Amino acid sequence: MATVTLKHIEKVYPNTGDKKKKHNLKVTDEGVVAVQDFNLDIADQEFIVLVGPSGCGKSTTLRMVAGLEDITRGELYIDGQLVNDVAPKDRDISMVFQNYALYPHMTVRQNMEFPLKLRKLPKEEIDKRVNHAAEILGITEYLNRKPKALSGGQRQRVAIGRAIVREPKVLLMDEPLSNLDAKLRNQMRAEILKLRKKINTTFIYVTHDQTEAMTLGDRIVIMKDGVIQQVGAPQEVYDNPVNIFVAGFIGVPQMNFYDGELKKDGSKYCVQVEDALIPLDESKNQHLLAQDIKPQEIVVGVRPEHISLENVPGRMIHGVADVSELMGASVHLHINAVGKDGIIIVPTLDLKQDAGFQPGQKIDFTFGGNVVHVFSKETGRNLEY
Amino acid sequence: MKQTKAKPSSGRTLKHSGFLTAIFAIISLTWISPLLIVLLNSFKRKAYIFKNPFGISTASIFDGFEKWMAGISKTFVGFLNYSNAIKKTDFWHSFGYSLFITVGSVLLIVICCSMCAWFITRVQTWWTKLIYVFCLFSMVVPFQMVMFTLSKFANMLHLSNPVGILVVYLGFGAGLAVFMFCGFVKSIPVEIEEAAMIDGCNPLQAYFLVVFPIMKPTVITVAILDAMWVWNDYLLPSLVLNVNKYRTIPIAVQYLKQSHGQIDWGAMMAVLVLAILPIIIFYIAAQKYIIKGVAAGAVKG
């Protein structure tokens, strides 16, 4: 139950003498900058998800909040209190690790009691809290087992239990579901959502899985190469990605990108991809007008679910079908157009009974002016913002 | 959810073979025969130990059963040798010294070396790597090469007493112990320690409440190896200790031989049995703990 404020947080790892550069991180004289100028205000009881590809600094940021890594520069406040130099145990946070990190020599009950015993709580209080947490997580019957006698999902529940018995100010989770199989992961994701309703605390959750980010977070922080790309609610990030990276990272299957051109006719903008000319809708038009965007070479981004096969003369882009994947409710049609591979999602309802797609078949498709994203070819920035 | 106990399969079982059983029985008997002979002779009258070390009677069984039985009762003296030996060697004092030195040095080795190994594994700098290399190096150097300088040095530092010798044992035991502990610490996921730090441990608590219990299998292995070594060691205490004051059991056995013109073999055998007994009991009690995968289950397995 606390706010967390990160002000200009930076993490620099001193150069280890290894000159081979395997990453795109900024390198200064000081060393490799893993996290750059990280600014974020996290409200009380908010669920923040840090998401990004591996090596983007999301775990490092979390570990700095936990106190497991030193903060090179910047200020970290928990509940309004500067905690840069406060030891992890005194920050009143708890953490769930990817590999559970349970104490193997203790039973489940002892694991969950451990943080409370260290804080010298009275025995009745410890029992009450442990039993309550076990009940929430449905692990009451395993309390006397050792961790090695539990399955992956059960172990992760115990790890979460150990984290919540403390009733910490902030609950940190470092890819807690990555070690679980796909089915269990979905199940546990739903459980975390439920858990969130039952306990009032601030969550910071790290994942590389955009589905987890979208479904769990109140706000998502998308990071790349140690730099925050965008912070926003899931819907906002999905609808208005600030750059090509965010657009490509959020959403499954990935957004399609085609090279195109932004044209301006009076006060009307339209995008041209090959010979298809698609006018932008009013709100997008206004955004571009407001910034006085010049006609230029652009990257056009369209989500697979926004592409339609309906024939609109003059707006069709020509492609060749590659393979199609039947997902049940829809078909993911891989298509090569404008020299790029892309995916179109065709709802099964729209398909005729036997209208299978053949590899090599010519497919014409289009999209509306309301769903297209216009990115600068030079900077990758979304021109609307 | 599976409720079955995770149980390692015992693999295939060998078919019972009478031939193999016989061979292994013979090998086992050969192996254990010196111990059995010592045990047997420790109950015999002095005079008969040399005369017929393997026999149990002065008379042959072919002379008739009665005679043979009488011979047996003539041969054996019960616990007389033991009481003699305990008196002559001042056994309980020696036992005390041996016990103190063994327990003390094993504790010291286990605690200091596991801590050291934890530190040099977790903190990777050039000097921790150097410590590791030194530990490996100390295993290569034979004791006989350093023993004279060592005894001189130990005297200078006033280590020639039962407390001081603990330090010497720590030094000689450290190499192997640190090496073994390092190997095990590497297999403990560092997240467990981080979880402990977040849960409210200071480094010492993290070590004693979390890391040390996880290291239990290696602790027991090291303890067994070092306990057997220290308990049975003759050379090092004879060089370092002031043997007129402090006699460990191996030294006491040796003095039993020197202090009298004629060696009391009965007492010798008895004291040998007494010397071996504790370490055998210790080994049997502790062996089931050797290398059990305690860390299994901490991480995804």
pLDDT at B260: 55
Residue A172 lies in a domain: yes
Residue B38 lies in a domain: yes
Instruction: Map residue A308 onto helix, strand or coil.
Output: strand
Q: Which of A205, A225, A247 is the last residue of a domain?
A: A247
Residue A384 lies in a domain: no
Strand partners, A381: A243
Token code pair at residue A73 = 């520069």
Q: Which of A197, A229, A247 is the last residue of a domain?
A: A247
Residue B8 lies in a domain: no
Residue A209 lies in a domain: yes
The structural domain count of chain B equals: 2
Residue B169 and residue B110 in contact, taking contact as beta carbons nearer than 8 Å: no
pLDDT at A125: 93
Is B194's CB within 8 Å of A103's CB?
A: no
Residue A273 lies in a domain: yes
Name the residue with higher pLDDT: B99 or B2: B99
Do A242 and A344 have their domain in common?
no
Reported as a pLDDT band with limits 50, 70 and 90, residue B118 is very high
Q: In angstroms, rounded to a whole number, what is the distance separating the alpha carbons of residues B262 and B283?
A: 34
> pLDDT tens digit string along B52-87?
777 777 777 777 788 878 777 777 777 888 888 888
High-pLDDT (> 90) share of chain B, %: 28
Residue B6 lies in a domain: no
Instruction: Map residue A160 onto helix, strand or coil.
Output: helix
pLDDT at A357: 78
Which residues of chain B have a CB within 8 Å of the CB of A166? 199
Q: Is the dihedral of CA A100, A103, A108, A114 positive or negative?
A: negative
> pLDDT tens digit string along A323-380?
888 888 888 889 998 888 889 888 877 666 556 778 888 888 888 888 899 999 888 8
pLDDT at B107: 95
Do B222 and B254 have their domain in common?
yes
Q: In angstroms, rounded to a whole number, what is the distance separating the alpha carbons of residues B108 and A225?
A: 48
Give the A:B interface size as CB pairs under 8 Å: 97
* CA–CA min distance B110, chain A (Å): 19
Across the range A115-132, mean pLDDT stands at: 92
Residue A188 lies in a domain: yes
Reported as a pLDDT band with limits 50, 70 and 90, residue A264 is confident
Across the range B8-33, mean pLDDT stands at: 77
A100 touches chain B (CB under 8 A): yes
Residue A269 lies in a domain: yes
Residue B97 lies in a domain: yes
Across the range A228-250, mean pLDDT stands at: 92
Reported as a pLDDT band with limits 50, 70 and 90, residue A265 is confident
Q: Is the peptide bond before A313 cis (omega within 30 degrees of 0)?
A: no
Across the range A38-63, mean pLDDT stands at: 91
The structural domain count of chain A equals: 2
A326 touches chain B (CB under 8 A): no
Q: Say whether pLDDT at B4 is over 90.
A: no
Q: Which domain holds residue B42?
A: 18-78
Q: Say whether pLDDT at A6 is over 80.
A: yes
Token code pair at residue B29 = 């008997």
Q: Which of B28, B51, B78 is the last residue of a domain?
A: B78
* A89 vs B197, B214, B295: nearest CB: B197
Q: Alpha-carbon dihedral of residues A341, A347, A351, A355, nearest 10 degrees?
A: 40
| Cα of A291 vs its chain's centroid, Å | 29
Q: Say whether pLDDT at A19 is over 70.
A: no
pLDDT at A353: 55
Do B94 and B44 have their domain in common?
no
Do B56 and B120 have their domain in common?
no
- Chain B residue closest to A145 (CA)? B5
Do A98 and A208 have their domain in common?
yes
B91-122 helix and B80-89 helix, angle to the nearest 10 degrees: 70
pLDDT at B127: 93
pLDDT at A111: 93
Q: Say whether pLDDT at B6 is over 80.
A: no
Token code pair at residue A230 = 């965008």
Is A150's CB within 8 Å of B189's CB?
A: no
One-letter amino acid of A196: R
Q: Say whether pLDDT at A20 is over 60.
A: no
Do B205 and B241 have their domain in common?
yes
CATH number reported for the structural domain that contains residue B269 in this entry: 1.10.3720.10
Among the listed residues B185, B8, B191, B193, the one whose alpha carbon sits nearest the alpha carbon of residue A178: B191
Across the range B33-40, mean pLDDT stands at: 87
> pLDDT tens digit string along B214-235?
988 888 888 888 988 999 899 8
Which residues of chain A have a CB within 8 Å of the CB of B201? 89, 118
Residue A171 and residue A204 in contact, taking contact as beta carbons nearer than 8 Å: yes
Residue A141 lies in a domain: yes
* CA–CA min distance A114, chain B (Å): 7
* A89 vs B5, B6, B201: nearest CB: B201
Do B250 and B212 have their domain in common?
yes
Q: Which of B34, B52, B78 is the last residue of a domain?
A: B78
**Cα Rg, chain B, nearest whole Å:** 25
* CA–CA min distance A121, chain B (Å): 13
* A101 vs B191, B201, B301: nearest CB: B191
Is B297's CB within 8 Å of A148's CB?
A: yes
Judged by average pLDDT, the poorest of A166-180, A199-213, A248-262, B259-273 is B259-273
Residue B7 lies in a domain: no
Name every residue whose Cβ is closer than 8 Å to that of residue A110 and which is 6 or more positions away in sequence: A103
Q: Which of A247, A276, A292 is the last residue of a domain?
A: A247
Across the range A294-305, mean pLDDT stands at: 90
Q: Say whether pLDDT at A198 is over 70.
A: yes
Q: Which of B28, B57, B78 is the last residue of a domain?
A: B78
Residue B12 lies in a domain: no
- Chain B residue closest to A88 (CA)? B198
Do A259 and A359 have their domain in common?
yes
Is B199's CB within 8 Å of A66's CB?
A: no
Interface of A with B in 191-250 (CB under 8 A): none
Do B64 and B95 have their domain in common?
no
Judged by average pLDDT, the poorest of A24-28, A194-198, A322-326 is A24-28
Do A111 and A146 have their domain in common?
yes
Give the number of other Cβ atoms within 10 Å of residue B67's Cβ: 15
Among the listed residues B216, B110, B298, the one whose alpha carbon sits nearest the alpha carbon of residue A149: B298
Q: In angstroms, rounded to a whole number, what is the distance separating the alpha carbons of residues B53 and B41?
A: 7
B126-140 helix and B164-187 helix, angle to the nearest 10 degrees: 120
Do B152 and B254 have their domain in common?
yes
Q: In angstroms, rounded to a whole number, what is the distance separating the alpha carbons of residues B285 and B268?
A: 27
Residue A382 lies in a domain: no
Do A215 and A125 have their domain in common?
yes
CATH number reported for the structural domain that contains residue A319 in this entry: 2.40.50.140
Across the range B134-145, mean pLDDT stands at: 87
Across the range A129-150, mean pLDDT stands at: 90
Please spell the DSSP secondary structure of A161-227, one letter per residue.
HHHHTT--SEEEEESTTTTS-HHHHHHHHHHHHHHHHHS--EEEEEES-HHHHHHH-SEEEEEETTE
pLDDT at A1: 59
Residue B165 lies in a domain: yes
pLDDT at B230: 93
CB-based burial, A310-347: b 16+ in 10 Å, e otherwise: eeeeebbbebebbebeeeeebbbbbbebbeeebbbbbe
Please spell the DSSP secondary structure of A83-150, one letter per residue.
-TTS-GGGTTEEEE-TT----TTS-HHHHHHHHHHHTT--HHHHHHHHHHHHHHHT-GGGTTS-GGGS
Do A135 and A213 have their domain in common?
yes
Full-model pTM: 0.80
Do A257 and A241 have their domain in common?
no
Is A100's CB within 8 Å of B300's CB?
A: yes
Do B50 and B88 have their domain in common?
no
Do B44 and B150 have their domain in common?
no
Do A290 and A336 have their domain in common?
yes
> pLDDT tens digit string along B191-210?
999 999 999 889 899 999 99
Do B158 and B242 have their domain in common?
yes
Strand order in the sheet with A317-326: A307-308, A362-367, A317-326, A330-337, A340-347
Do B138 and B242 have their domain in common?
yes
> pLDDT tens digit string along B85-117?
888 888 888 899 999 999 999 999 999 999 999
Do A225 and A271 have their domain in common?
no
* CA–CA min distance A136, chain B (Å): 18
B→A interface, C-beta within 8 Å: 1-2, 5-6, 189, 191-192, 194-202, 205, 209-210, 213-214, 216, 294-301
Q: Say whether pLDDT at A187 is over 80.
A: yes
Q: Say whether pLDDT at B288 is over 80.
A: no
Do A332 and A346 have their domain in common?
yes
Q: Which domain holds residue A333?
A: 253-376
Q: Say whether pLDDT at B241 is over 60.
A: yes
Do B230 and B132 have their domain in common?
yes
Averaging pLDDT over each range in A1-15, A272-286, B103-117, B235-249, which range is the top one?
A: B103-117
Do A210 and A268 have their domain in common?
no
Q: Say whether pLDDT at B287 is over 80.
A: no
Across the range A83-108, mean pLDDT stands at: 90
What is the number of helices (H) and of strands (E) in chain A?
9, 21
Across the range B256-260, mean pLDDT stands at: 64
Q: Say whether pLDDT at B14 is over 80.
A: no
Do A36 and A62 have their domain in common?
yes
